[in-house]
Amino acid sequence: MISMVVPELGTWEGKIFVGILGFSWATYMWEEYLAYRQRHVYREKVEPPSELKGIMERTTYDKARAYSIDKSNFSMVEGFCSHIINTGVMLYGGLPVFWSAAGKMSEWLGFSVDSEVPQTVAFICLASAVNTVINLPWSVYFTFKVEQKHGFNKQTPGFFVKDKIKKFIVSQIISAPVVAGLVYIIKAGGDYFFLYLWGFTTAVMLFFMTVYPDYIAPLFDKYTPLPSGPLRDQIEELARQIHFPLTKLYVVEGSKRSAHSNAYFYGFFKNKRIVLYDTLLEDYTPLNEDGEAKQNEEETKEETEGEKEKKKTGCSTPEVLAVLGHELGHWKLNHVLKGIIISQVNLLLVFGVFGSLYKYSPLYRTFGFHHSQPAFIGLIIVMQYVFAPYNEVLQFLLTMFSRHNEFQADAFAKSLGHSEQLTSALVKLNEDNLGFPVYDPLFSAWHLSHPPILERIRALEDGEKKEKRFNFFTNQHCANPTIITVQTSTVPTHQHQHCTHPPAPALYSPTNTNTTHPPALYSPTSTSTVLTHQH
């Protein structure tokens, strides 16, 4: 029989337990309060604001409102159930139960009872399997009920199942050696193991950022070179104009998974690639293996003009260039480099604190480990629980930083002469992805790594007004408009949908709540965490 393992409240363990559990529930209640404020906006803003005249049609506004309400209701129920499960894991000693089961699994496979590395790998596999099973009903409901209802889901049940299986297998293949390396370094690294741990983690991150796009991402989606034509020529010219070292240009068939659009770049030094989702491109037809346009049998049937018009989504060539101007602005303004530096400094801090708490037995006893102090369990406790208050503050600061970067990238695209096209692209993406344009100020400040569309359009327009006033008083054109425009247009106020794409700047990430997602050009409900630009 499973019983509660709450430590005595008068002990250090009890105080730590109450503090961790109390902060967890305080954070949950704060998040629910913010969500309640935003749901109130959804309910009350039945009529489009006057600012939206000429920007969003009434029918699109109503659809976006209904979509946002459904997503909010889903998140409320799913979030409550998840928090109850997490609380139960603490109250009933979930970590020791899984650790004990992993030990038996490791012993059954022939490893020594005292061998911590294989037991940790077994623990990770077991915990991942249980998490996958628990999250599966939610994922099924969101994909085939919420997304399907609003026209975004393109997955068949068979594709969905195969995709989940592949993700789980690939995840275990990747995580097993990494976790084994972490545990080995902690156990054998001596007093300064946290420095070796940081170096190892950094090397692993850079390695996977390099190999993921070429060897892992194609396991989930099909990538093909963008065909020759005006769009490719103009993208290459844009890259030359700002000295972006573009080597390859791909289109990914994201339409098999979802109707949401996206784009990102990746690569190191002089070897960078750009990836566009086919759903981003207004008139894109995928190619077959012979390089010829595919013919979809359903599309060969006769359609009415109204049906054809209804299917018209995506961005035109000038608009695609504008959004790529925004994305390449992240590179030009060193947002990616700054993000990597911040994430690495943060990681070193976390490992340093873990190094000082690694052998602090009350931490382990708080979670039911009275006879052992597994290294990886200690790392989980420190990173997930001890650092919880710090993580919340850091999350908010990174959200502000991300918003600041988005305004800067918009200003950079404007400096290239794409202000009007960027505005129209933002409007189109907002419509195509049913992004609700009105937000509660507190919810927006805490959660949105990308400013709401009205703020971005307003910033672009204000920048143009400032530029006109500047030109009037000086009566001359600036020889380097990029620097002037970026500085004067910057607003210093700075994210899963599950993502299978590498960390690089992205165009759209509708439900970005994970660090694997990049900052995107348009992201109506995204939150930022750490800072590799693609979620």
| Binding site listing for Zn(2+) | 326, 330, 406
Cα 414 to Cα 161, 257, 320, 505: the distances in Å are 43, 32, 14, 18
Q: Which secondary-structure segment (H or E) carries 92?
A: none
Cα 287 to Cα 175, 224, 232: the distances in Å are 35, 8, 15
CA distance 10 to 33: 32
Cα 167 to Cα 24, 154, 495, 500: the distances in Å are 29, 18, 21, 9
* Catalytic option among 147, 319, 410, 455: 410
Q: 3-state SS of the chain: helix, strand, coil percent to 5? A: 65, 5, 30
Which tokens belong to 276? 């566009």
Residue with tokens 């995506």: 314
How large is the angle between the packed helices 481-489 and 453-474, nearest 10 degrees? 130
- Going by the DSSP 8-state scheme, the letter that residue 8 receives in this structure is P
Chain centroid to Cα 404, Å, comes to 17
DSSP helix/strand/coil, 476: coil
> Is 163 labeled as catalytic in the residue annotation?
no
Which tokens belong to 261? 């659009």
CA distance 176 to 118: 9
276 bridge partner residues: 251, 263
* Catalytic option among 147, 163, 319, 327: 327
Radius of gyration of the chain (CA): 25
> Is 327 labeled as catalytic in the residue annotation?
yes
Residue 307, amino acid: E
The catalytic residues are 327, 410
